Amino acid sequence: MELRDRKPVSLRDKFKEHYHNRDFTPTKTQVSSFGMGFFGFMVLSLLLEAQLVLVPTIYNEDAWRFWLTTGLIWLTFLETVSNWYLSYWDVKNYVKGETRAKYFSSEMTETPPGWRTCPKCQVDAPPRSHHCNHCGKCILKRDQHCFFTGSCIGFFNQKYFVVFSFYVALGSAFAIYLQILYLSQEFSFLSWDIITYFIPVTFVQWLLGNTTLDKLLIIVHMYLCISTMCMATFVFLWQILIITYGATSFEAWKQIFLYTHSAADNFCSVFGSLKVIPILFFFPIKVEQDSDGIMWEVKRKRVKGH
């Protein structure tokens, strides 16, 4: 082809060709990376913001409050991160090929009653376990897949997840309290200054040179903390509710209450024992439960639904 025969390609055509028929739906890995990245960003940025900006400014002349607040910040930080770690690493939740062999002999050819062969990972899965498309495995007493911990919440890590959501809610509330104390030194809540707490207004104020970049960033951060606090509080209260009723999120949604015992027994099933619950909220230690999450005694008839 000669040069003069070539049609000029516009930038618009180049873009069209480049992005034509492309699927922009995020993959499961991307969603998980985003969730874990958001968690990591929030935890580290809040720690740095609180230690380097908020606390030194608010309590610069009050040593007692300075050290008390610093201690509480580090306690919340360490509890959140260690319970995240415990929620993330418990791979005992996976249903493996040998799970069935723990209770049934290999001579038994059919799937045991109450069990089902998972069409996706081909293992014999016990009651209450479900396949997770993100993990690619069947999970014992599967509750949900959490993108912020990057793991499935199931029989062995639900206890850590409950404590984790509690500390995320508490840490966010604590951060909002410190951010408001810091910001109210310049913008009062009890005057028209309150309008400055709306991001577009703060942004314009910053462009006009009426406020500093750190104040703008702290206000944006405060909104992220409010969203995180609302979400974590909801998750924590929901978990307490479903544990009380002895159900998983899926079972509660479908109104299947087959495995509910007394509220105390339901809590023991998740946490190991009632005595361990207050300990777990202060010390992030590994705790074993009595059962292995495989065999479940049906206690009550289905209330409604399936």
Question: At closest approach, how far in Å is the CB of 122 from Zn ion?
Answer: 8
- Least spacing, CB of residue 163 vs Zn ion, in Å: 20
Q: Which is nearer to Zn ion, 138 or 170 (CB)?
A: 138
Minimum CB distance to Zn ion, residue 26 (Å): 16
Cβ of residue 139: shortest distance to Zn ion, in angstroms?
6
The residue among 53 and 121 lying less far from Zn ion, judged by its C-beta, is 121
Q: Residues in the site for Zn ion, rule: CB under 5 A?
A: 118, 120-121, 131-132, 134-135, 138, 145, 152
Q: How far is the CB of 115 from Zn ion (least distance, A)?
A: 12
Q: Which is nearer to Zn ion, 79 or 90 (CB)?
A: 90
| DSSP bridge pairs for 121 | none
Output 150 or 171, the one with its CB closest to Zn ion. 150
Q: How far is the CB of 86 from Zn ion (least distance, A)?
A: 16
In eight-state DSSP terms, residue 294 is: S
- Report which of 273, 236, 234, 254 is spatially closest to residue 128, judged by C-alpha positions: 254
Distances (CA, A) of 161 to 148, 274, 281: 11, 17, 11
In the three-class reduction of DSSP (H, G, I as helix; E, B as strand; rest coil), residue 289 is classed as coil
Q: How far is the CB of 98 from Zn ion (least distance, A)?
A: 15
> Among residues 135 and 162, whose Cβ is nearest to Zn ion?
135
* For Zn ion, the closer CB: 88 or 267: 88
At residue 241, φ and ψ (nearest 5 deg) are -65, -50
Considering Cα of 202, then 207, then 209, then 214, what sign does the dihedral take?
positive
Beta-carbon contacts of residue 122 (< 8 Å; ≥ 6 apart) = none
Find the helix or strand (DSSP H, E) in which 132 lies: strand 130-132
Number of residues in the chain: 306
Helix 213-244 with 28-49: angle, nearest 10 deg: 120
Listed residue (33, 67, 302) closest to 149, CA to CA? 33
Which CB atom, from 93 or from 260, has the smaller least distance to Zn ion? 93
> Sign (positive/negative) of CA torsion 16, 19, 22, 23?
negative
